[in-house]
Chains A and B, each alone.
Chain A
Amino acid sequence: MPHIDLPEGFPGISAGFTYRPETAKPMRALAHVLLHDPNSLTPGERELIAAFVSSGNECHFCQSSHAAAAACHLGDASVVEQVTANFHTAPVSPKLKALLAIAGKVRQDGKLVTKADVAAARKVGATDIEIHDTVLIAAAFSMFNRYVEGLGTWQPRDPEMYARMGQHLASEGYLAPSIKQPLADPVSAS
Protein backbone atom coordinates (compact mmCIF):
# COMPACT_ATOMS: atom_id res chain seq x y z
CA MET A 1 0.00 0.00 0.00
CA PRO A 2 1.35 3.40 -0.93
CA HIS A 3 1.71 5.87 1.95
CA ILE A 4 -0.67 8.37 0.34
CA ASP A 5 -3.71 8.15 -1.90
CA LEU A 6 -1.89 7.60 -5.21
CA PRO A 7 -3.91 6.68 -8.33
CA GLU A 8 -4.42 2.92 -8.44
CA GLY A 9 -2.83 0.79 -11.12
CA PHE A 10 0.08 3.13 -11.79
CA PRO A 11 3.40 1.46 -10.94
CA GLY A 12 6.43 3.15 -9.38
CA ILE A 13 7.18 6.70 -10.39
CA SER A 14 4.19 6.83 -12.78
CA ALA A 15 1.96 7.01 -9.68
CA GLY A 16 3.83 10.04 -8.31
CA PHE A 17 3.85 11.65 -11.76
CA THR A 18 0.11 11.13 -12.25
CA TYR A 19 -0.63 12.36 -8.72
CA ARG A 20 1.36 15.59 -9.04
CA PRO A 21 1.74 16.77 -12.67
CA GLU A 22 3.32 20.06 -11.55
CA THR A 23 6.43 18.28 -10.29
CA ALA A 24 6.27 15.51 -12.93
CA LYS A 25 6.91 17.97 -15.73
CA PRO A 26 10.41 19.15 -14.72
CA MET A 27 11.35 15.64 -13.52
CA ARG A 28 10.42 14.19 -16.91
CA ALA A 29 12.28 16.99 -18.68
CA LEU A 30 15.39 16.33 -16.61
CA ALA A 31 15.36 12.58 -17.33
CA HIS A 32 14.82 13.27 -21.02
CA VAL A 33 17.83 15.61 -21.31
CA LEU A 34 20.05 13.32 -19.27
CA LEU A 35 19.13 9.98 -20.82
CA HIS A 36 17.61 10.58 -24.22
CA ASP A 37 18.81 13.80 -25.85
CA PRO A 38 21.91 13.76 -28.10
CA ASN A 39 25.11 13.17 -26.13
CA SER A 40 28.57 11.80 -26.75
CA LEU A 41 27.65 9.05 -24.28
CA THR A 42 25.19 6.72 -26.02
CA PRO A 43 21.66 6.34 -24.62
CA GLY A 44 22.60 2.74 -23.76
CA GLU A 45 25.59 3.90 -21.71
CA ARG A 46 23.52 6.50 -19.87
CA GLU A 47 20.74 4.01 -19.13
CA LEU A 48 23.41 1.65 -17.76
CA ILE A 49 24.54 4.38 -15.34
CA ALA A 50 20.89 4.91 -14.28
CA ALA A 51 20.28 1.17 -13.82
CA PHE A 52 23.57 0.77 -11.92
CA VAL A 53 22.74 3.57 -9.46
CA SER A 54 19.16 2.32 -8.99
CA SER A 55 20.47 -1.17 -8.37
CA GLY A 56 22.88 0.16 -5.74
CA ASN A 57 19.94 1.92 -4.10
CA GLU A 58 17.88 -1.30 -4.34
CA CYS A 59 14.97 0.39 -6.05
CA HIS A 60 13.25 -2.45 -7.91
CA PHE A 61 11.04 -0.31 -10.14
CA CYS A 62 13.80 2.07 -11.30
CA GLN A 63 16.40 -0.64 -11.65
CA SER A 64 14.10 -2.88 -13.71
CA SER A 65 12.75 -0.18 -15.99
CA HIS A 66 16.14 1.39 -16.74
CA ALA A 67 17.76 -2.03 -17.14
CA ALA A 68 15.05 -2.80 -19.71
CA ALA A 69 15.65 0.52 -21.49
CA ALA A 70 19.43 -0.15 -21.52
CA ALA A 71 18.86 -3.67 -22.88
CA CYS A 72 16.72 -2.22 -25.67
CA HIS A 73 19.38 0.29 -26.67
CA LEU A 74 22.18 -2.26 -26.45
CA GLY A 75 20.24 -5.21 -27.87
CA ASP A 76 21.65 -7.30 -25.03
CA ALA A 77 20.25 -7.87 -21.54
CA SER A 78 23.30 -9.78 -20.27
CA VAL A 79 25.52 -6.67 -20.37
CA VAL A 80 23.09 -4.91 -18.04
CA GLU A 81 23.14 -7.82 -15.61
CA GLN A 82 26.92 -7.88 -15.64
CA VAL A 83 27.14 -4.13 -15.03
CA THR A 84 24.84 -4.26 -12.02
CA ALA A 85 26.54 -7.40 -10.64
CA ASN A 86 30.15 -6.21 -11.11
CA PHE A 87 30.89 -3.56 -13.70
CA HIS A 88 34.67 -4.08 -13.44
CA THR A 89 34.37 -7.38 -15.31
CA ALA A 90 31.49 -6.32 -17.61
CA PRO A 91 32.03 -6.04 -21.39
CA VAL A 92 31.85 -2.23 -21.48
CA SER A 93 34.51 0.36 -22.41
CA PRO A 94 37.22 1.43 -19.94
CA LYS A 95 35.73 4.93 -20.13
CA LEU A 96 32.30 3.73 -19.04
CA LYS A 97 33.89 1.73 -16.20
CA ALA A 98 35.64 4.87 -14.97
CA LEU A 99 32.35 6.81 -15.15
CA LEU A 100 30.49 4.03 -13.30
CA ALA A 101 33.10 4.25 -10.54
CA ILE A 102 32.28 7.97 -10.22
CA ALA A 103 28.52 7.30 -10.33
CA GLY A 104 28.84 4.70 -7.58
CA LYS A 105 30.53 7.25 -5.33
CA VAL A 106 27.99 9.99 -6.06
CA ARG A 107 25.25 7.53 -5.16
CA GLN A 108 26.75 7.22 -1.68
CA ASP A 109 27.96 10.81 -1.22
CA GLY A 110 29.23 13.29 -3.79
CA LYS A 111 32.16 14.15 -1.53
CA LEU A 112 33.64 10.69 -2.13
CA VAL A 113 34.56 11.55 -5.73
CA THR A 114 38.30 12.26 -5.84
CA LYS A 115 40.61 14.07 -8.25
CA ALA A 116 42.10 10.64 -8.97
CA ASP A 117 38.68 9.24 -10.01
CA VAL A 118 38.16 12.15 -12.38
CA ALA A 119 41.72 11.99 -13.75
CA ALA A 120 41.27 8.25 -14.37
CA ALA A 121 38.08 8.91 -16.37
CA ARG A 122 39.76 11.66 -18.35
CA LYS A 123 42.73 9.45 -19.15
CA VAL A 124 40.45 6.94 -20.85
CA GLY A 125 38.74 9.64 -22.88
CA ALA A 126 35.94 11.12 -20.74
CA THR A 127 35.13 14.78 -21.45
CA ASP A 128 34.05 17.37 -18.90
CA ILE A 129 30.46 17.19 -20.14
CA GLU A 130 30.48 13.38 -19.81
CA ILE A 131 31.81 13.65 -16.26
CA HIS A 132 29.21 16.32 -15.47
CA ASP A 133 26.39 14.23 -16.89
CA THR A 134 27.54 11.10 -15.06
CA VAL A 135 27.53 12.99 -11.75
CA LEU A 136 24.09 14.44 -12.46
CA ILE A 137 22.58 11.13 -13.66
CA ALA A 138 23.80 9.47 -10.45
CA ALA A 139 22.49 12.39 -8.36
CA ALA A 140 19.15 12.43 -10.18
CA PHE A 141 18.62 8.71 -9.61
CA SER A 142 19.40 9.27 -5.95
CA MET A 143 16.28 11.45 -6.13
CA PHE A 144 14.08 9.28 -8.36
CA ASN A 145 14.84 6.17 -6.26
CA ARG A 146 14.01 7.93 -2.99
CA TYR A 147 10.82 9.35 -4.47
CA VAL A 148 9.60 5.93 -5.61
CA GLU A 149 10.51 4.27 -2.29
CA GLY A 150 9.56 7.13 0.02
CA LEU A 151 5.96 7.13 -1.22
CA GLY A 152 5.72 3.35 -0.87
CA THR A 153 4.67 3.01 -4.53
CA TRP A 154 3.48 -0.23 -6.07
CA GLN A 155 6.47 -1.94 -7.71
CA PRO A 156 5.27 -4.91 -9.78
CA ARG A 157 7.51 -7.95 -10.14
CA ASP A 158 6.28 -8.79 -13.67
CA PRO A 159 9.32 -8.65 -16.04
CA GLU A 160 7.01 -8.27 -19.06
CA MET A 161 5.75 -4.92 -17.78
CA TYR A 162 9.32 -3.62 -17.47
CA ALA A 163 10.22 -4.94 -20.92
CA ARG A 164 7.32 -2.97 -22.42
CA MET A 165 8.27 0.13 -20.45
CA GLY A 166 11.90 -0.23 -21.53
CA GLN A 167 10.86 -0.30 -25.20
CA HIS A 168 8.81 2.86 -24.78
CA LEU A 169 11.58 4.67 -22.87
CA ALA A 170 14.24 3.63 -25.38
CA SER A 171 12.25 4.79 -28.39
CA GLU A 172 10.26 7.77 -27.05
CA GLY A 173 12.26 9.03 -24.09
CA TYR A 174 10.75 10.56 -20.99
CA LEU A 175 8.55 13.48 -21.92
CA ALA A 176 5.35 11.49 -22.45
CA PRO A 177 4.11 8.83 -20.00
CA SER A 178 5.00 5.22 -20.80
CA ILE A 179 2.09 4.09 -18.57
CA LYS A 180 -0.97 5.93 -19.88
CA GLN A 181 -3.74 3.82 -18.34
CA PRO A 182 -3.97 2.09 -14.97
CA LEU A 183 -2.73 -1.49 -15.15
CA ALA A 184 -5.21 -4.21 -14.26
CA ASP A 185 -5.51 -5.67 -10.78
CA PRO A 186 -2.48 -4.22 -9.05
CA VAL A 187 -3.07 -6.20 -5.88
CA SER A 188 -2.85 -9.67 -7.37
CA ALA A 189 -0.20 -8.57 -9.88
CA SER A 190 2.11 -7.48 -7.10
Chain B
Amino acid sequence: MPHIALSPDLPGIRGAMAFRPETARPLNALVEVLLTGPNTLTRGERELIATYVSSRNCTHFCHSIHGAIAAAHLGGDEALVKQVKTDFTQAAVTPKLKALLTIAGKVQQDGKLVTETDVNAARVLGATDIEIHDTVLIAAAFCMYNRYVDGLDTVQPDDEALYRERGKRVARDGYVTVSEEYLASHAGH
Protein backbone atom coordinates (compact mmCIF):
# COMPACT_ATOMS: atom_id res chain seq x y z
CA MET B 1 0.00 0.00 0.00
CA PRO B 2 1.42 3.38 -0.97
CA HIS B 3 1.91 5.91 1.85
CA ILE B 4 -0.69 8.25 0.32
CA ALA B 5 -3.87 7.70 -1.73
CA LEU B 6 -2.46 6.92 -5.18
CA SER B 7 -4.50 5.28 -7.95
CA PRO B 8 -4.27 1.47 -7.62
CA ASP B 9 -4.28 1.14 -11.42
CA LEU B 10 -1.02 3.01 -11.93
CA PRO B 11 2.21 1.38 -10.73
CA GLY B 12 5.45 3.14 -9.81
CA ILE B 13 5.96 6.75 -10.75
CA ARG B 14 2.77 6.84 -12.80
CA GLY B 15 0.56 6.76 -9.70
CA ALA B 16 2.55 9.59 -8.13
CA MET B 17 2.46 11.62 -11.33
CA ALA B 18 -1.29 11.21 -11.75
CA PHE B 19 -1.71 12.31 -8.12
CA ARG B 20 0.08 15.61 -8.80
CA PRO B 21 -0.01 16.64 -12.49
CA GLU B 22 1.57 20.03 -11.65
CA THR B 23 4.85 18.35 -10.76
CA ALA B 24 4.40 15.53 -13.28
CA ARG B 25 4.77 17.95 -16.19
CA PRO B 26 8.29 19.21 -15.43
CA LEU B 27 9.33 15.72 -14.27
CA ASN B 28 8.29 14.28 -17.64
CA ALA B 29 9.77 17.22 -19.57
CA LEU B 30 13.14 16.68 -17.87
CA VAL B 31 13.32 12.95 -18.55
CA GLU B 32 12.21 13.57 -22.13
CA VAL B 33 15.09 16.00 -22.81
CA LEU B 34 17.64 13.84 -21.02
CA LEU B 35 16.74 10.45 -22.46
CA THR B 36 15.03 11.11 -25.78
CA GLY B 37 16.20 14.57 -26.93
CA PRO B 38 18.82 15.02 -29.67
CA ASN B 39 22.16 13.84 -28.28
CA THR B 40 25.47 12.31 -29.35
CA LEU B 41 24.83 9.58 -26.77
CA THR B 42 22.31 7.12 -28.21
CA ARG B 43 18.97 6.63 -26.53
CA GLY B 44 20.05 3.12 -25.61
CA GLU B 45 23.21 4.43 -23.93
CA ARG B 46 21.30 7.03 -21.95
CA GLU B 47 18.70 4.48 -20.85
CA LEU B 48 21.54 2.22 -19.70
CA ILE B 49 22.86 5.04 -17.48
CA ALA B 50 19.36 5.54 -16.03
CA THR B 51 18.97 1.78 -15.51
CA TYR B 52 22.38 1.44 -13.85
CA VAL B 53 21.75 4.28 -11.39
CA SER B 54 18.25 2.95 -10.55
CA SER B 55 19.70 -0.50 -10.04
CA ARG B 56 22.31 0.87 -7.61
CA ASN B 57 19.51 2.65 -5.75
CA CYS B 58 17.63 -0.68 -5.67
CA THR B 59 14.46 0.89 -7.06
CA HIS B 60 12.77 -2.07 -8.69
CA PHE B 61 10.22 -0.15 -10.76
CA CYS B 62 12.75 2.28 -12.27
CA HIS B 63 15.50 -0.20 -13.07
CA SER B 64 12.97 -2.62 -14.56
CA ILE B 65 11.20 -0.12 -16.78
CA HIS B 66 14.34 1.73 -17.92
CA GLY B 67 16.07 -1.61 -18.43
CA ALA B 68 13.17 -2.62 -20.67
CA ILE B 69 13.30 0.69 -22.56
CA ALA B 70 17.07 0.30 -22.98
CA ALA B 71 16.59 -3.25 -24.32
CA ALA B 72 13.95 -1.97 -26.76
CA HIS B 73 16.49 0.54 -28.10
CA LEU B 74 19.24 -2.10 -28.21
CA GLY B 75 17.49 -4.64 -30.42
CA GLY B 76 15.92 -6.52 -27.50
CA ASP B 77 19.28 -7.35 -25.90
CA GLU B 78 18.09 -7.99 -22.35
CA ALA B 79 21.28 -9.88 -21.49
CA LEU B 80 23.35 -6.76 -22.11
CA VAL B 81 21.08 -4.70 -19.86
CA LYS B 82 21.38 -7.32 -17.13
CA GLN B 83 25.16 -7.32 -17.48
CA VAL B 84 25.30 -3.53 -17.10
CA LYS B 85 23.25 -3.82 -13.91
CA THR B 86 25.40 -6.52 -12.37
CA ASP B 87 28.88 -5.50 -13.58
CA PHE B 88 29.21 -3.00 -16.39
CA THR B 89 32.98 -3.41 -16.58
CA GLN B 90 32.35 -6.82 -18.21
CA ALA B 91 29.54 -5.61 -20.48
CA ALA B 92 29.79 -5.31 -24.28
CA VAL B 93 29.52 -1.52 -24.29
CA THR B 94 32.05 1.06 -25.49
CA PRO B 95 34.96 2.14 -23.28
CA LYS B 96 33.48 5.65 -23.38
CA LEU B 97 30.17 4.45 -21.95
CA LYS B 98 32.03 2.51 -19.24
CA ALA B 99 33.86 5.70 -18.24
CA LEU B 100 30.55 7.57 -18.14
CA LEU B 101 28.95 4.80 -16.05
CA THR B 102 31.82 5.17 -13.57
CA ILE B 103 30.99 8.87 -13.25
CA ALA B 104 27.26 8.06 -12.95
CA GLY B 105 27.98 5.56 -10.17
CA LYS B 106 29.85 8.21 -8.20
CA VAL B 107 27.12 10.81 -8.67
CA GLN B 108 24.65 8.19 -7.43
CA GLN B 109 26.55 8.09 -4.14
CA ASP B 110 27.62 11.73 -3.86
CA GLY B 111 28.48 14.23 -6.59
CA LYS B 112 31.60 15.24 -4.66
CA LEU B 113 33.15 11.84 -5.39
CA VAL B 114 33.59 12.64 -9.09
CA THR B 115 37.27 13.45 -9.65
CA GLU B 116 39.20 15.19 -12.40
CA THR B 117 40.76 11.79 -13.11
CA ASP B 118 37.32 10.27 -13.75
CA VAL B 119 36.43 13.11 -16.11
CA ASN B 120 39.78 12.97 -17.94
CA ALA B 121 39.43 9.20 -18.36
CA ALA B 122 36.07 9.76 -20.06
CA ARG B 123 37.49 12.54 -22.21
CA VAL B 124 40.43 10.44 -23.38
CA LEU B 125 37.90 7.88 -24.64
CA GLY B 126 36.05 10.54 -26.59
CA ALA B 127 33.41 11.88 -24.19
CA THR B 128 32.45 15.50 -24.85
CA ASP B 129 31.61 18.09 -22.21
CA ILE B 130 27.91 17.86 -23.03
CA GLU B 131 28.03 14.07 -22.68
CA ILE B 132 29.72 14.39 -19.29
CA HIS B 133 27.17 17.02 -18.26
CA ASP B 134 24.26 14.85 -19.33
CA THR B 135 25.69 11.78 -17.60
CA VAL B 136 25.97 13.72 -14.33
CA LEU B 137 22.45 15.05 -14.71
CA ILE B 138 20.90 11.70 -15.72
CA ALA B 139 22.49 10.12 -12.63
CA ALA B 140 21.36 13.01 -10.41
CA ALA B 141 17.84 12.98 -11.87
CA PHE B 142 17.45 9.24 -11.27
CA CYS B 143 18.48 9.77 -7.66
CA MET B 144 15.37 11.96 -7.59
CA TYR B 145 13.00 9.66 -9.53
CA ASN B 146 14.12 6.64 -7.48
CA ARG B 147 13.58 8.42 -4.16
CA TYR B 148 10.21 9.69 -5.33
CA VAL B 149 9.05 6.19 -6.30
CA ASP B 150 10.40 4.57 -3.12
CA GLY B 151 9.59 7.41 -0.72
CA LEU B 152 5.86 7.18 -1.51
CA ASP B 153 6.00 3.37 -1.35
CA THR B 154 4.41 3.08 -4.79
CA VAL B 155 3.32 -0.27 -6.19
CA GLN B 156 6.28 -1.89 -8.00
CA PRO B 157 5.11 -5.03 -9.82
CA ASP B 158 7.39 -8.05 -10.30
CA ASP B 159 5.98 -9.13 -13.68
CA GLU B 160 8.79 -8.77 -16.24
CA ALA B 161 6.39 -9.04 -19.18
CA LEU B 162 4.61 -5.92 -18.00
CA TYR B 163 7.83 -3.88 -18.11
CA ARG B 164 8.84 -5.40 -21.46
CA GLU B 165 5.60 -4.31 -23.13
CA ARG B 166 5.57 -0.90 -21.53
CA GLY B 167 9.26 -0.45 -22.37
CA LYS B 168 8.58 -0.93 -26.08
CA ARG B 169 5.85 1.71 -26.00
CA VAL B 170 7.93 4.29 -24.16
CA ALA B 171 10.89 3.63 -26.46
CA ARG B 172 8.64 4.27 -29.44
CA ASP B 173 6.48 7.18 -28.21
CA GLY B 174 8.60 8.94 -25.56
CA TYR B 175 7.79 9.98 -22.00
CA VAL B 176 5.61 13.01 -22.50
CA THR B 177 3.28 11.29 -24.97
CA VAL B 178 2.71 8.19 -22.83
CA SER B 179 2.23 10.35 -19.73
CA GLU B 180 -0.56 12.32 -21.35
CA GLU B 181 -2.98 9.39 -21.26
CA TYR B 182 -2.68 8.66 -17.55
CA LEU B 183 -2.54 12.33 -16.62
CA ALA B 184 -5.74 12.92 -18.61
CA SER B 185 -7.59 9.83 -17.40
CA HIS B 186 -6.83 10.57 -13.75
CA ALA B 187 -7.30 14.34 -13.90
CA GLY B 188 -9.16 15.98 -11.05
CA HIS B 189 -8.55 13.17 -8.58
A residues adjacent to B (C-beta < 8 A):
1, 3-5, 16, 19-20, 22-23, 25-27, 29-30, 33-34, 37, 57-59, 102, 105-107, 109-111, 113, 115, 118, 128-129, 131-133, 135-136, 138-140, 142-152
Residue of A nearest to B20 (CB): A132
The answer to whether B132 touches A4 (Cβ under 8 A) is: yes
Q: How far is the CA of A118 from the CA of B106 in the complex (A)?
A: 31
Question: Given the known A-B contacts A37-B22, A113-B153, A146-B107, are A135 and B148 also in contact in the complex, defined by CB atoms under 8 Å?
Answer: yes
- A11 → chain B closest CB, angstroms: 15
The answer to whether B5 touches A106 (Cβ under 8 A) is: no
The answer to whether A146 touches B33 (Cβ under 8 A) is: no
* Per-residue A-contact encoding for B140-179, CB less than 8 Å = 1, 0 else: 1101111111111100000000000000000000000000
Which residues of chain A come closer than 8 Å to B143, judged between CB atoms?
139, 142-143, 146
The answer to whether A143 touches B114 (Cβ under 8 A) is: no
Q: How far is the CA of A107 from the CA of B147 in the complex (A)?
A: 8
The answer to whether B136 touches A146 (Cβ under 8 A) is: yes
Which of these, B3, B29, B58, B152, contacts A29 with CB under 8 Å? B29
The answer to whether A115 touches B3 (Cβ under 8 A) is: yes
Residue of B nearest to A129 (CB): B20
B residues adjacent to A (C-beta < 8 A):
3-5, 16, 19-20, 22-23, 25-27, 29-30, 33-34, 37, 57-59, 103, 106-108, 110-112, 114, 116, 119, 129-130, 132-134, 136-137, 139-141, 143-153
Q: How far is the CA of A136 from the CA of B59 in the complex (A)?
A: 15
Q: How far is the CA of A27 from the CA of B130 in the complex (A)?
A: 17
- A95 → chain B closest CB, angstroms: 15
The answer to whether B3 touches A20 (Cβ under 8 A) is: no
- B103 → chain A closest CB, angstroms: 8
Which residues of chain A come closer than 8 Å to B141, judged between CB atoms?
143
Listed from nearest, the 9 A-B pairs whose CB atoms lie closest are A149-B111, A110-B150, A110-B151, A150-B111, A143-B144, A139-B147, A146-B140, A26-B29, A26-B30
Query: Which of A105, A110, A113, A142 has its CB near the most chain B CB atoms (within 10 A)?
Result: A110
* 7 residue pairs from A and B, CB less than 8 Å apart: A3-B114, A33-B23, A110-B148, A111-B58, A132-B19, A138-B151, A149-B114
Q: How far is the CA of A170 from the CA of B111 in the complex (A)?
A: 27
Which residues of chain B come closer than 8 Å to A144, judged between CB atoms?
140
The answer to whether A106 touches B20 (Cβ under 8 A) is: no
